[in-house]
Structure 1
């Protein structure tokens, strides 16, 4: 039982420690890399062709298709681990369940259900529409409900394509929707907050860390509450990260926050040294 408590502690400590490191050290490297430059070039071309709103829609649709293309074979691979990984983990947790700890996990894991997140989405939509009343107020009005709908249907597509079944105690299947819903809802709220206010870098990192920690803890509670196989949660974390990245990019494109690529320097032709003439 001690191992289960330790894993619960790690579900909090690991994202709290690693997320700031990733945000301060790894993210700048990715931002300045070749892939990011190509992305800025593509976004600039889409924006020129379709405008910011049209480009954001193209990014969202293409990104969702890419998420499905990645997570479908991932789900098929994870499903093959079910007899060797999921069943032993499930049996280990089931044999060591403690009522008080189970109640705490069941209380927290409900945060990832659709009903409470509908309220969170609705309240956040009203708040940001009011805050954006003197700017493009319709952006949060569209983005916040849309993130909820996108997660639901992309997850349903993957669940149908993989069709791996569920634990004997619940109907949860691949990928873990609770993890994805928390990432999408609170992550989108965090992105809108960063766009709304000029937050210091430390505050932005803290917001990202909080969201990642909520998602990590949701995955742990989904396993202990016996709602998902372990590999459902692992796939749910990857699915959540990819789908949120697509959604965040679409929001930034719609707001014109993607920095266009710097124009290549103009090189002047080399000048030849004058040839000395004999006198």
Structure 2
């Protein structure tokens, strides 16, 4: 039982520490690498040719297809590890659950369910639509679109992998609860950053909070035995991966990617830095 408490603590501490370290370390280097600059040039050319709304839509469809292509074989691998990894972990957790701690985890894990997050999404879309004034349609469209995007991409993967679920729950591959938290609160954090001028450390702090919420959601799904362990691990990668592409598409739509000063960007399409202030 003590070991499970320790794992629960790690589910909070590890992402809280790893988030800033990744953002200021590999994240900074990646942002300056050719791996990022080349796609930026391609997107800038598409924006010039198609305009921002069409480019954002194309990018979302491309990223969703790429995500499915990457996580399909990962799902097959997870399925093959069911007997070796998932069943032993499930039985180990079963023997060490505590009723009081279980009640807390059942309460927390509901955060990743569809119904409460639907309400969060609607409220956030309305709030940011009001804040963005004449450009209200951007947060309204983007925030509302993130929820079904995650749902259908995850459903496609679940159907393609078809690995079933643990006997104690109905969770499928990859964990949708984790991915929904990342997409929902990640998009809200993104619009906070797009609406108000903030230093980079606040951007990192917002991303770290979302990472902590998602990671503990993974632990709660394990503790309440709603998912196999491999579903949870995949969800912790799938959610951020899907969000990354969606965030880029939102920034394209909002005029923040590529940066307005990009030479490939037509002058008429340039937007002020604080796009939510208009």
| TM-score bin, normalised by smaller chain | over 0.9
Please state if 1:111 is matched with 2:111: yes
Matched, 1:42 2:42: yes
The separation in 2 between residues aligned to 1:12 and 1:109, in whole angstroms, is: 14
Residue of structure 2 equivalent to 1:10:
10
Shift of 1:259: 3.3
Comparing 41-50 with 59-68, greater Cα deviation is found at 41-50
Residue aligning to 1:267: none
Distance across 2 between alignment mates of 1:238 and 1:97: 26
Deviation of the 1:111 alpha carbon = 0.1
Separation in structure 2 between the aligned mates of residue 203 and residue 192 of structure 1, nearest angstrom: 13
Question: Considering only aligned residues, what root-mean-square deviation do their CA atoms show, in Å?
Answer: 1.3
Q: Distance in 2 between matches of 1:62 and 1:259?
A: 17
Mapped pair 1:55 → 2:55: yes
| Shift in alpha-carbon separation, 1:69–1:146, aligned structure 2, 3 A | same
Report the Cα distance in structure 2 between the residues aligned to 1:116 and 1:91, rounded to whole angstroms. 30
Equivalent-residue separation in structure 1 for 2:163 and 2:258 (angstroms)? 42
Checking the alignment, whether the CA contact within 8 Å between 2:190 and 2:247 is kept in structure 1 is: yes
TM-score (norm 2): 0.92
Match runs of 1:114-193 below 5 Å: 114-134=114-134, 136-193=135-192
Please say if residues 111 and 117 of structure 2, whose CA atoms lie closer than 8 Å, have aligned partners that are also in contact: yes
Query: Gaps spanning 5+ residues in structure 1: where?
Result: 264-279
TM-fit CA distance, 1:262: 6.4
Q: What SS is found at the alignment partner of 1:96?
A: coil
What do the CA deviations read for 1:131-159 (whole angstroms, capped 9, x no partner)? Answer: 0013x210111111100010110010000
Residues 1:33 and 2:33 aligned together: yes
Q: How does 1:119-268 map to 2 (within 5 A)?
A: 119-134=119-134, 136-259=135-258
SS class of match (2:165): coil
TM-score, normalised with respect to structure 1:
0.92
SS in 2 for 1:87: helix
For 1:235 and 1:28, the matched residues in 2 are separated by 25
For residues 80-133 of structure 1, what are the alpha-carbon distances to aligned partners after superposition, in whole Å with 9 as ceiling and x for unaligned? 110000000000001111100110000000000000000100110110000001
Q: For residue 90 of structure 2, what is the aligned residue in structure 1?
A: 90
Tell me, yes or no, if the aligned pair for 2:43 and 2:258 is still in contact at 8 Å.
Answer: no
Report if aligned partners of 2:71, 2:238 keep a CA contact under 8 Å in 1.
Answer: yes
SS in 2 for 1:102: helix
Quote the Cα distance in structure 2 between the aligned partners of 1:262 and 1:131.
27
SS of 1:97's partner is coil
Instruction: Look up the SS of the partner of 2:104 in the other structure.
Output: helix
Quick one: structure 1 residues 147 and 262, their matched pair in 2 at CA, closer, same or farther if it must change by over 3 Å?
closer
The answer to whether the 8 A contact 2:252-2:258 is kept is no
Cα distance in 1 for residues equivalent to 2:118 and 2:170: 21
Counterpart CA distance in 2 for 1:204 and 1:153 is 28
Alignment partners' CA distance in 2, 1:10 and 1:245: 24
After the TM superposition, which of the residue ranges 177-186 and 191-200 deviates more from structure 2? 191-200
Tell me the equivalent position of 1:71: 71
Larger Rg: 1
Q: Give the number of aligned pairs.
A: 263
Partner of 1:22: 22
Q: In the alignment, which residue of structure 1 is the partner of 2:102?
A: 102
